[in-house]
Amino acid sequence: MAGSDTTAQESADRSAPDTVKILIAGGFGVGKTTMVGSVSEIAPLRTEEPLTLAGLDVDDLDGVEEKRATTVAMDFGRISVSDDLVLYLFGTPGQQRFWFMWNDLALGALGAVVLVDVRRPRTSFAAIDFFERRNIPFVIAVNGFYGEHPYPAEDIREALTLPEGVPVLLCDARERESSRDVLIALIDRLIAQAAPAAPAG
């Protein structure tokens, strides 16, 4: 390999920071937008994406007008992890008919946070199922509305019949530190999975 190639490659590496992404999933109203907003360094950006018919479960919808009007909102957040590393957060609705978007988003994602509303855990079943089926690492973040956590993590693990090893965290999606700790828990899990032979610590 020529030396000039190496130099060009190095300068390309410098100008474009590495980017990694984490998905924030869960049912409607569980606090996805809130979490992306609390931990992102930029105000959470929202983008409306018109849905194409190809992506829809056609039986789901009644009229053509309604299909045309359907858009999906995506939350987008960014954390500059270091000078040369940026973490993107993507939050998207958890309904099954939006899974085609998740398929794209999940490509190259480090993993996912599945938010669970402590009062309505079932609304996040579909999201859990999605990541489980695709072998995408995820952690469960139980959003205790009103800052309360009436159930211990173990109860929620049982109620959701989670596979062993999936961390369950109690969080407050409104709190930056709490949301950050959820992301750290996901990364810790990924690190543990990436280095199963290495002793912890």
Least distance from C-beta 76 to other proteins, angstroms?
A: 5
DSSP, residue by residue, the chain? --HHHHHHHHHHHHHS-EEEEEEEE-STTSSHHHHHHHH-SSPPEEEEEEPPGGGS-GGG---HHHHHH-EEEEEEEEEEEETTEEEEEEE----GGGHHHHHHHHTT--EEEEEEETT-GGGGHHHHHHHHHTT--EEEEEE-GGG---S-HHHHHHHTTPPTT--EEEE-TT-HHHHHHHHHHHHHHHHHHH-SSSPP-
Q: Of these partners, Mg ion, ligand GDP, other proteins, none, which one is at the site of residue 29 (CB under 5 to 8 Å by kind)? A: ligand GDP
Q: Of these partners, other proteins, ligand GDP, Mg ion, none, which one is at the site of residue 167 (CB under 5 to 8 Å by kind)? A: none
Least distance from C-beta 154 to ligand GDP, angstroms?
A: 21
The window from 61-69, 81-89, 122-130, 154-162 that contacts other proteins (CB under 8 A) reads: 81-89
The window from 30-38, 51-59, 160-168, 182-190 that contacts ligand GDP (CB under 6 A) reads: 30-38
**Residue 31 binds ligand GDP, judged by CB under 6 A:** yes
Q: Of these partners, ligand GDP, Mg ion, other proteins, none, which one is at the site of residue 156 (CB under 5 to 8 Å by kind)? A: none
**Residue 116 binds ligand GDP, judged by CB under 6 A:** no
Among residues 119, 120, 122, 176, which is the contact residue for other proteins, using CB under 8 A?
176
**Chain residues in the site for Mg ion (CB under 5 A):** 32-33
